[in-house]
Amino acid sequence: MDTLQQPKTKRQRAILSLIAARPVRSQDELATLLEQQGYEVTQATVSRDIKELGLLKVPLKGGAGGAFKYVEPTVGPAFTSRLHRVVSEVVIQARFSMNQIVLRTHPGTAMMLAAAIDSADWPEILGTIGGDDTVLVICEKPETTPMIKQRFEDMRGEQ
């Protein structure tokens, strides 16, 4: 293994260990915890590690005031894609009209969901617009919209 990669690999293992052991609510908190373990990190380093590890920021159960924590994407049900994981964690409600679907999410998670939908590259979807707690999904044809909405509901486990 490249010697430059070893510290990165160890640091990323430490990150996974930290988020498994306790709720980590911010990049600053994660950087502080890493520094306490002897790692020299910057906010940019922590941000890159979070992205490379594919960590998700999800609402704390019972957390007031919009509290979040980082979780490893493989935690929870074994979903087949990042989109499935994100939808199951953040979507609260799905509604549609004509060729548009509105997905309500936990505050602060809509842009992440919009990016995951765009990355999935479904041919029936022209694009998305993500705000703070709402994603607007534009479908190519109105007749496919109910089917796409049902896909989102299936991903979140709704009957």
| pLDDT value for 6 | 60
pLDDT (tens digit per residue) in 37-69: 999 999 999 999 888 887 777 766 655 555 667
| pLDDT value for 77 | 43
* Of 20, 10, 55, 14, residue with least CA distance to 36: 14
Residue 36 CB burial class (10 angstroms; 0-12, 13-18, ≥19): exposed
CATH tag, 82-155: 3.30.1360.40
**Which one of 3.20.20.70, 2.40.50.140, 1.10.286.10, 1.10.10.10 gives the CATH number of domain 5-71?**
1.10.10.10
* Of 112, 118, 108, 159, residue with least CA distance to 138: 118
Residue ranges, comma separated, of all CATH 1.10.10.10 domains in the chain are: 5-71
| pLDDT value for 99 | 96
Residue ranges, comma separated, of all CATH 3.30.1360.40 domains in the chain are: 82-155
How many C-beta atoms surround the C-beta of residue 108 within 10 A? 14
| pLDDT value for 24 | 85
Residues 92, 50: contact at Cβ < 8 Å? Answer: no
With a cut of 50, list the residues of the chain below it in pLDDT: 1-4, 75-80, 159
| pLDDT value for 65 | 54
